[in-house]
């Protein structure tokens, strides 16, 4: 993160600690400043952080090892990492790892531009050229948009080209009026869980305890999802404005934007946008702090995110109590996704009825879909809720590559498992997709053509979940590992019926008993594999018998 | 229905505000299985075995973290819960090297084995890689046999919440999770005080009492004798484990009013002096030859009385200073004080435990 110019260079560790020690959520900020300065986190530096922030050294060490991207050896931060997410693996990521002598990293949120290489604070293409987020194409269906409506306007990411009319309007309203408007709009969480935003904000507004907090969850870690990056890169002020409106509505006086590590360019854009907003006096009574994650999918889960901010081991928290009453530092907190917050300014400007009318079949509003994989035109699309999946795939995005047909798609990135066969005829809304045993979630859709081996796709997905399982709860920690072994053929019964029985027993137990969404969702991969592609499973088990 | 009532297995029961479903159910004699629960620690919700059915929720809920609220309808046992618990225990059993461990490893070391047997989960299903990695650590007290670790984190939590040492923590994620000290070092280089609480709360014997394990070959049935630790004035309750006339180990008393399962390095591990070959079993007096020789008590006491008397006569009563051993019982310490004050006439008396 950018440090004040007045600090003497080279910057002393103790000065860096002092710089953040009095801010809320200092640990990640301090660790990143030192990681940036030294290119890794040495034992000595961790010892100083432990003393400076009064965190037991063993705890601090354990927590640092939890994050994928904190390097512990000299030169580690600058060493190249290659995305080996599901789409990048379709595009030769493993060969690139070999060629560059790089380490692998889980999906880095560039499925529309495979294969990204993260080198220090730069995201490059395989030829070493910087990768910038493409603008979303104009809506191919000619549908009215909400969050993308103005994103293609030149200069949009500068304050001069943006304006904060929605915030100005909100400030002329009482917080209750804002809460009512957001409730009436039917806006629901766009990060995956779909909780009604107005209700969440009301609970925070009514909750006892101060200061209250708004958290923008920009830890977009779901493989196949890259919509939040597009919003933050091209329309950062919309997200900041949404946060400030949320603060006004809930009575929050501090806010965090928690950005995933793999978006260094986005971090610079946000730093600049925040500086502009601060200089223009727009923050008012709510200070906004940027915090950078360090490579942990689970930190997109709100309890883990809050623990991460607080400098604790980033395990999810048990619930109840929920963050609306016991969030950041055990105080009332609204945790909202980037897209949700970006939807708020247009709703303020155009009204609740307008937003509701954007959806179809009684569904309110729009949804960003990140489309990638075996599809002619990957990218981000803003669809009216209720749009047929086929329309998006075939008419908007040009269908499968030449000579192929679409065999399957994932839903909710990877968390919704696969849809295939007749279930490709769903509409893009939760009731329709949930009726097929999956969910729309954060809106990532990865396409697989008719030449793809779905057991292999499932193995890759499960390896991701096993890699990202936090280790707190037994069913997920052991279950994801056992499913990987069965999908890779490394272990498990060599006879199909028993293989399926073991895999389903594991999945059923994980779904019923896991402590958070990761362990509950991971078995949708194997469940849908068995449902749609029994012939692939039979061939796989036969091969390993 | 009054405010604080809910339905537990078909029965209306009253709860105390703040009580968890697990605590409530335990109070009513339900034996809900669990591996990560220790009543002394904050609710954690890791092992998920304590899941119960709660009307109105889609999936079972962890009873150790769910607080009772009025009107809840809870089932602690059902066919479906049984199957989930059995499958989960099969999964846990599959990640460890073995289930059978010597009970001398620690107080809770049989918990996993007992649950696996109770649920008939010794099926060998879900074979695959095992988790954990044993850590070579040459300290004389704590064996870190992490091949048996199931990542319940009771050790880490007891170290932080009960002992306040924060010597160990959790590193890595998922199946690669390990228990570690700072920078993966040895316990003796960490903040560890070797209180042994991590050993005694471990439900699989992954952490084991090396002093007790050294006695594993001594034959006979293990007897437990409740007593009070004689090392200092706190009064920690403990159970001395013995076989025949040999002390083989010490367990802290989880219900000890002064210690609630806590001991210190001395109370937990320093019992081997009892059977040590160097231990004095009769008095020694120095002979004309300058060497120490075995003697009778009368002989030794006469000699001591003569010596003390002589010193007092020559240098006055305050020239004598006495120190009582922390290993002696309180009654002996009292007598020592009495002897020094009333007998020798000096106030120069102390006890090594006071320092």
The full 3-state SS of A217-275, as one line of letters, equals: EECCCCCCCCHHHHHHHHCHHHHHHHHHHHHHHHCEEEEEEEECCCCHHHHHHHHHHHH
CATH class for the region spanning A159-356: alpha beta
CA distance A540 to B244: 59
Cβ pair B73, B83 in contact under 8 A = no
- Cα B146 to Cα A182: distance, rounded to the nearest angstrom: 52
pLDDT above 50 (res A524): yes
Distance between A65 CA and the closest CA of chain B, angstroms:
5
Q: What is the ipTM of this complex?
A: 0.95
At B130 the pLDDT is 95
Contacts of residue A220, defined as CB under 8 A and 6 or more positions apart, other chains included, come to: A109, A226, A227, A228, A229, A260, A263, A300, A338, A442
Spatial separation of the C-alpha atoms in residues A503 and A519, rounded to whole Å? 14
Backbone angles phi, psi at A216, to 5 degrees: -95, 115
Q: What is the pLDDT of residue B234?
A: 85
Q: Do B177 and A477 touch (CB under 8 A)?
A: yes
- Among A298, A318, A505, the residue with its CB nearest the CB of B62 is A318
Q: What is the DSSP string of A42-99?
A: -HHHHHHHHHHHT--HHHHHHHHHHSSS---STTTTTS-EEE-SHHHHHTTHHHHHHH
Q: Which CATH architecture has domain A359-449?
A: Roll (3.10)
What mean pLDDT is predicted for residues A328-355?
Answer: 98
From chain A, the residues in CB contact with B129 under 8 A are 481, 485, 490-491
Q: Measured between CA atoms, how close is B271 to chain A, in angstroms?
A: 30
Contact at CB, B127 and A481, closer than 8 angstroms: no
When pLDDT is cut at 50, 70 and 90, the band that residue B355 belongs to is: low
Beta bridge partner(s), residue A443: none
- pLDDT number for residue A1: 66
Phi first, then psi, for residue B336 (nearest 5°) are -60, -45
Q: Mutating which of B86, B182, B187, B188 best tests the A interface, going by the most A Cβ atoms within 10 A? A: B182
Nearest to A478 among B91, B171, B176 (CB): B91
pLDDT digits 0-9 by tens, B1-54: 457 999 999 999 999 999 999 999 999 999 999 999 999 999 999 999 999 999
Alpha helices (H) along A379-426: 389-390
State the pLDDT at residue A41: 98
For A474, which of B48, B125, B173 is closest by C-beta distance?
B48
For residue A545, pLDDT over 90 is answered with no
Residue A513 has pLDDT above 70, yes or no: yes
- pLDDT band, very low/low/confident/very high, at A189 (cuts 50, 70, 90): very high
How many angstroms separate the CA atoms of A430 and A364, rounded? Answer: 11
C-alpha radius of gyration, chain A, whole number:
23
pLDDT of residue B2: 56
Does the beta-carbon distance from B84 to A473 stay under 8 Å? no
Whether B193 and chain A come into contact, CB under 8 Å, resolves to no
Shortest CA distance from B42: residue in chain A:
A318
Contact present, B37 and B22 (Cβ < 8 Å): yes
- In the structure, what pLDDT confidence band is assigned to residue B328 with cuts at 50, 70 and 90? confident
The distance from CA B65 to its chain's CA centroid, rounded to whole angstroms, is: 24
Q: Could A58 and B191 be called an inter-chain contact, meaning their C-beta atoms sit closer than 8 Å? A: yes
What's the start-to-end Cα distance of chain A, in Å? Answer: 53
> Is B301 part of the contact surface with chain A (CB cutoff 8 Å)?
no
Mean pLDDT computed over B56-64: 96
Query: What is the CA angle A474-A480-A484, rounded to 5?
Result: 145
Q: Do B88 and A513 touch (CB under 8 A)?
A: yes
Contacts of residue A498, Cβ cutoff 8 Å, sequence gap at least 6 = none
With tokens 């006879």, the residue in question is A495
Contact list in A for residue B57 (CB cut-off 8 A) is: none
Question: Domain residue spans in chain A?
Answer: 1-79, 81-124, 159-356, 359-449, 454-543
Q: What is the CATH number of domain A454-543?
A: 1.20.1440.230
Residues of A in contact with B166 (CB under 8 A): 56, 58-59
Which residues of chain A make contact with B168, given a CB cutoff of 8 A? 58
Closest Cα in chain A to B189: A58
pLDDT (tens digit, 9 = 90+) per residue, A229-277? 999 999 999 999 999 999 999 999 999 999 999 999 999 999 999 999 9
CB pairs under 8 A between A and B: 150
Average pLDDT, chain A: 96
Nearest-CA distance A70 → chain B (Å): 12
When mean pLDDT is compared across A156-160, B227-231, B327-331, the lowest value belongs to B327-331
Residue B112's φ and ψ, nearest 5 degrees, are -65, -50
Asked which of A154-163, B61-70, B187-196, B229-238 is least confident by mean pLDDT, the reply is B229-238
Name chain A contacts of B65, Cβ cutoff 8 Å: 318
Rounded to an integer, what is the distance from CA A27 to the centroid of its chain? 21
Residues of B in contact with A467 (CB under 8 A): 173-174
What's the distance, CA A302 to chain centroid?
11
**For range A533-540, the mean pLDDT:** 97
Q: Which residues contact A43 (CB under 8 A, 6 or more apart)?
A: B183
The verdict on a CB contact (< 8 Å) between B87 and A508 is: yes
Decide whether B5-77 matches B219-279 in CATH topology: no
Give me B237's structure tokens: 């309750």
Over range A167-191, report the average pLDDT.
97
**Residue A62 and residue B190: Cβ atoms within 8 Å?**
no
What sign does the dihedral B113-B118-B122-B126 (CA atoms) show? negative
Q: Is A126 helix (H, G, I), strand (E, B) or coil?
A: coil
- In this predicted structure, the answer to whether residue B134 has a pLDDT above a threshold of 90 is no
The verdict on a CB contact (< 8 Å) between B45 and A515 is: yes
What are the structure tokens assigned to A169, written together?
A: 């309007």
Pick the CATH number of B98-214 from 2.40.128.20, 3.40.50.261, 3.30.70.20, 3.40.50.2300: 3.30.70.20
Residue A443, pLDDT above cutoff 60: yes
Distance of alpha carbon A4 from alpha carbon A11, whole angstroms: 11
Going by CATH, does the domain composed of B5-77 fall within 3.10.20.740? yes
pLDDT value at position B331?
Answer: 87
Judge contact between A318 and B21, C-beta under 8 A.
no
Give residue for tokens 């220790």.
B38
> Number of helices (H) and strands (E), helices first, in chain A?
23, 13
Contact A58 B172 (CB under 8 A): no
Of A286, A322, A319, the closest CA to residue A211 belongs to A286
Confidence tier at B232 by pLDDT (50, 70, 90): confident
Instruction: Quickly name the fold that domain A1-79 has.
Output: Arc Repressor Mutant, subunit A (1.10.10)
B128 to A475: CB separation less than 8 angstroms, yes or no: no
The Cα–Cα gap between A66 and A379 comes to 31
Q: Does position A180 have pLDDT exceeding 70, yes or no?
A: yes
Query: Best of B170, B189, B193 to disrupt the A interface by mutation (most A CBs within 10 Å)?
Result: B170
- Average pLDDT of A157-180? 96
The pLDDT tens digits for A38-83 are 999 999 999 999 999 999 999 999 999 999 999 999 999 999 999 9
Query: Would you kindly state where each structural domain of chain B is located, as residue ranges?
Result: 5-77, 98-214, 219-279, 295-354
* Cβ contact A61–B169 (<8 Å): yes
> Residue A333 in 3-state DSSP?
strand
Place of tokens 């006055």: B316
Question: Residues A132-160: what's their mean pLDDT?
Answer: 96
Residue B12, sorted as left (phi over 0), alpha (psi -120 to 50) or beta, turns out to be beta
Residue A145 is predicted with a pLDDT of: 98
Return the pLDDT at B320: 96
Whole-angstrom distance, CA of residue B344 vs CA of residue B84: 72
Distances (CA, A) of B281 to A432, B275, B276, B284, B297: 84, 11, 10, 9, 11
Among partner residues A318, A467, A478, which is closest to B43 by beta-carbon distance? A318
pLDDT greater than 90 at residue A2: no
Confidence category of residue A5, pLDDT binned at 50, 70, 90: confident
pLDDT of residue B83: 98
A-chain residue closest to B164, CA distance: A56
Q: What's the rounded Cα separation, in Å, for the pair B31 and B63?
A: 12
- Strand ranges (E), B50-196: 51-54, 61-62, 73-75, 142-144, 169-171, 178-180
B69, closest residue in chain A (CA to CA): A320
Among the partner residues B88, B125, B190, nearest to A475 by beta-carbon distance: B88
pLDDT tens digits, residue range A458-512? 999 999 999 999 999 999 999 999 999 999 999 999 999 999 999 999 999 999 9
Which string of DSSP letters, residue by residue, matches A441-499?
Answer: TT-EEEEEETT--HHHHHHHHHHHHHHH--SSSHHHHHHHHHHHHHHHTSSS-SSHHHH
| Closest CA relative to residue B115, chosen from B85, B91, B95 | B85
The predicted structure's pLDDT at residue B327: 73
Given A298, A320, A474, which is nearest B91 (Cβ)?
A474
Contact A183, A170 (CB under 8 A): no
Average pLDDT, stretch B245-252?
A: 97
Question: φ and ψ at B186, to 5 degrees?
Answer: -85, 160
Q: Which CATH number fits domain B219-279: 2.20.25.90, 3.40.50.300, 1.20.1730.10, 2.60.40.10?
A: 2.20.25.90
pLDDT for B77 beyond 50: yes
Confidence band of B326 (pLDDT split at 50, 70, 90)? confident
pLDDT at A267: 98
Q: In the numeric block, which tokens belong to residue B110?
A: 């049989």
Instruction: Please enumerate, as own/partner, the contacts of B13-16 that have beta carbons within 8 Å and a separation of 24 or more.
Output: B15/B68
């Amino acid at each position: 993160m950018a440090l004040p110019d007045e600090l003497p260079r080279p910057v002393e560790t103790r000065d860096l600690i002092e710089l953040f020690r009095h801010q809320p959520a200092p640990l990640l900020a301090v660790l990143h400043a030192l990681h940036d300065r030294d290119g890794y986190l040495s034992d000595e530096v961790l010892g100083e952080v432990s003393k400076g922030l009064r965190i037991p050294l063993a705890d601090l060490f354990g927590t640092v090892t939890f994050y994928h991207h904190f390097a512990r050896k000299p030169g580690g931060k600058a060493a190249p990492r290659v995305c080996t997410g599901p789409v990048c693996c379709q595009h030769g990521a493993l060969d690139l790892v070999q060629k560059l002598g790089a380490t692998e990293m889980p999906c880095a949120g560039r499925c529309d531009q495979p294969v990204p290489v993260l080198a220090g604070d730069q995201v490059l293409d395989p030829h070493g050229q910087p990768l910038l987020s493409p603008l979303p194409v104009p809506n191919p269906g000619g549908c009215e948009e909400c969050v993308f409506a103005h994103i293609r306007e030149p200069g949009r990411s500068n304050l001069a080209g943006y304006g904060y009319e929605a915030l100005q309007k909100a400030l002329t309203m009482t917080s209750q009026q804002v809460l009512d408007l957001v409730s009436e709009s039917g806006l629901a969480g766009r990060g995956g869980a779909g909780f009604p935003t107005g209700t969440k904000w009301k609970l925070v507004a009514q909750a006892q305890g101060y200061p209250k907090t708004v958290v923008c969850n920009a830890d977009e870690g779901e493989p196949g999802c890259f919509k939040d990056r597009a919003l933050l890169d091209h329309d950062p002020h919309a997200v900041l404005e949404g946060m400030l409106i949320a603060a006004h509505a809930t009575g929050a006086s501090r806010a965090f934007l928690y950005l995933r590590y793999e978006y260094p360019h986005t971090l610079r854009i946000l730093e600049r946008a925040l500086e502009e907003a601060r200089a223009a006096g727009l923050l008012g009574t709510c200070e906004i702090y940027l915090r950078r994650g360090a490579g942990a999918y689970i930190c997109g889960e709100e309890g883990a995110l809050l623990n991460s901010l607080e400098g604790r081991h980033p395990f999810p928290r048990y619930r109840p109590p929920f963050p609306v009453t016991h969030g950041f530092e055990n105080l009332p907190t609204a945790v909202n996704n980037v897209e949700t917050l970006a939807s708020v300014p247009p709703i303020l400007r155009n009204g609740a009825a307008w937003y509701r009318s954007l959806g179809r079949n009684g569904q309110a509003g729009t949804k960003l879909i990140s489309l990638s994989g075996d599809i002619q035109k990957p990218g981000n699309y803003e669809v009216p809720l209720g749009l047929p999946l086929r329309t998006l795939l075939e008419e908007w995005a040009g269908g499968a590559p030449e000579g192929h047909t679409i065999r399957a798609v994932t839903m909710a990135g990877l968390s919704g498992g696969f849809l295939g066969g007749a279930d490709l005829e769903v509409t893009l809304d939760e009731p329709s997709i949930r009726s097929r045993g999956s969910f729309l979630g954060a809106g990532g859709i990865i396409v697989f053509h008719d030449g793809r081996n779905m057991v292999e796709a499932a193995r890759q997905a499960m390896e991701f979940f096993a890699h990202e399982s936090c280790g707190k709860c037994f069913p997920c920690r052991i279950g994801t590992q056992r499913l990987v072994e069965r999908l890779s053929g490394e272990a498990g019964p060599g006879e199909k019926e028993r293989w399926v029985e073991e895999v389903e027993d594991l999945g059923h137990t994980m779904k019923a008993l896991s402590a958070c969404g990761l362990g509950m969702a991971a078995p949708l991969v194997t469940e849908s594999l068995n449902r749609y592609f029994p012939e692939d499973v039979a061939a796989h088990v036969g091969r390993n018998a | 229905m009054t405010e604080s009532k809910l339905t537990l297995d078909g029965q209306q029961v009253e709860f105390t505000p703040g009580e968890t479903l697990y605590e409530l159910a335990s109070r009513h004699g339900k034996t809900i299985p669990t591996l990560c629960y220790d009543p002394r620690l904050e609710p954690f919700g890791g092992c998920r075995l304590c899941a119960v059915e709660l009307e109105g929720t889609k999936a079972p809920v962890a009873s150790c973290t769910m607080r009772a609220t009025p009107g809840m309808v809870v089932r602690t046992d059902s066919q479906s819960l049984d199957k989930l618990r059995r499958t989960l225990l099969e999964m846990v059993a599959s990640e460890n090297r073995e289930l059978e461990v010597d009970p001398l490893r620690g107080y809770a070391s049989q918990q996993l084995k007992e649950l696996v047997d109770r649920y008939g989960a010794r099926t060998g299903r879900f074979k695959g890689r095992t988790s954990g990695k044993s850590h070579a650590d040459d300290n004389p007290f704590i064996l870190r046999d992490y091949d048996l670790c199931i990542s319940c984190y009771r050790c880490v939590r007891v170290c932080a919440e009960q002992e306040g040492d924060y010597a160990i923590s959790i590193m890595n994620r998922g199946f690669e999770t390990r228990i570690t000290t700072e920078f993966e070092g040895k316990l003796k280089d960490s903040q560890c005080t070797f209180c042994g609480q991590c050993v005694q709360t471990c439900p699989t014997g992954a952490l084991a009492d090396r002093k007790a394990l050294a006695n594993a070959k001594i034959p006979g049935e293990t007897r437990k004798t409740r007593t009070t630790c004689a090392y200092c004035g706190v009064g920690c309750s403990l159970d001395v484990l013995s076989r025949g006339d040999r002390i083989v180990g010490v367990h802290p008393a989880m219900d000890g009013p002064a210690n609630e399962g806590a001991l210190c390095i001395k109370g937990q591990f320093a019992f081997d002096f009892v059977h040590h070959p160097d231990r004095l079993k009769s008095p020694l007096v120095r002979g004309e030859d300058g060497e120490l020789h075995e003697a009778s008590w009368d002989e030794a006491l006469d000699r001591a009385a003569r010596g003390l008397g002589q010193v007092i006569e020559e240098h006055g009563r305050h020239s004598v200073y006495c120190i009582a051993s922390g290993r002696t019982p309180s009654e002996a310490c009292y007598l020592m004080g009495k002897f020094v004050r009333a007998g020798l006439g000096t106030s120069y008396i102390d006890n090594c435990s006071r320092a």
